[in-house]
Amino acid sequence: QVQLVQSGAEVKKPGASVKVSCKASGYTFTDYYMHWVRQAPGQGFEWMGWINPNGGGTIYAQKFQGRVTMTRDTAISTAYMELTRLRSDDTAVYYCARRGRESLPPDYWGQGTLVTVSS
């Protein structure tokens, strides 16, 4: 079965960076783009971008360009999302989510990683 297992919660100070990992299993990692989506406390979802694990090509939402970097390591079927110059309003649960087999929005989601930005 498809599983996406993310790294644990992080607490960061403003201005720092965070890198979240997402280990995929149960399917061929390079066959499906990986989305990154975040959800601020009590809010809806915000798409950050996605990466094509087959080749590493990325598309980032304009809001995050210059601050986000998505990478992958195909040898260990793991995707990464790094966000720099963190601000308090970056406090959110960050999800990796696999592109759907028959649709562009996600099908399977990771369990989420809470990133708290606080001085």
Partner 1 sequence: QSVLTQPPSASGTPGQRVTISCSGGSSYVGTNTVNWYQQLPGTAPKLLIYTNNQRPSGVPDRFSGSKSGTSASLAISGLQSEDEADYYCAAWDDSLNGVVFGGGTKLTVL
| Of the candidate residues 44, 75, 89, 119, the single one contacting partner 1 (CB under 8 A) | 44
Query: Shortest distance, CB of residue 71 to partner 1, whole angstroms?
Result: 18
Interface region with partner 1, contact rule CB under 8 A, candidates 16-24, 42-50, 69-77, 82-90:
42-50
d(CA 32, CA 99): 6
- Evaluate whether 111 touches 6 at the Cβ level (below 8 Å): yes
Query: Shortest distance, CB of residue 3 to partner 1, whole angstroms?
Result: 11
Query: How many other CB atoms sit within 10 Å of the CB of residue 36?
Result: 28
- Name 36's Cβ contacts closer than 8 Å, sequence gap at least 6: 47, 48, 49, 50, 51, 68, 70, 79, 81, 94, 95, 96, 97
Nearer to partner 1, 13 or 102 (CB): 102
- Residues 51-90 interacting with partner 1 (rule: CB under 8 A): 59, 61-62
Q: What is the largest CA-CA distance in the chain?
A: 43
Could you say whether residue 41 binds partner 1 (CB under 8 A)? no
Nearer to partner 1, 86 or 96 (CB): 96
In the complex, which residues of this chain contact partner 1 (CB under 8 A)?
Answer: 35, 37, 44-47, 49-50, 59, 61-62, 95, 97, 100, 102-112
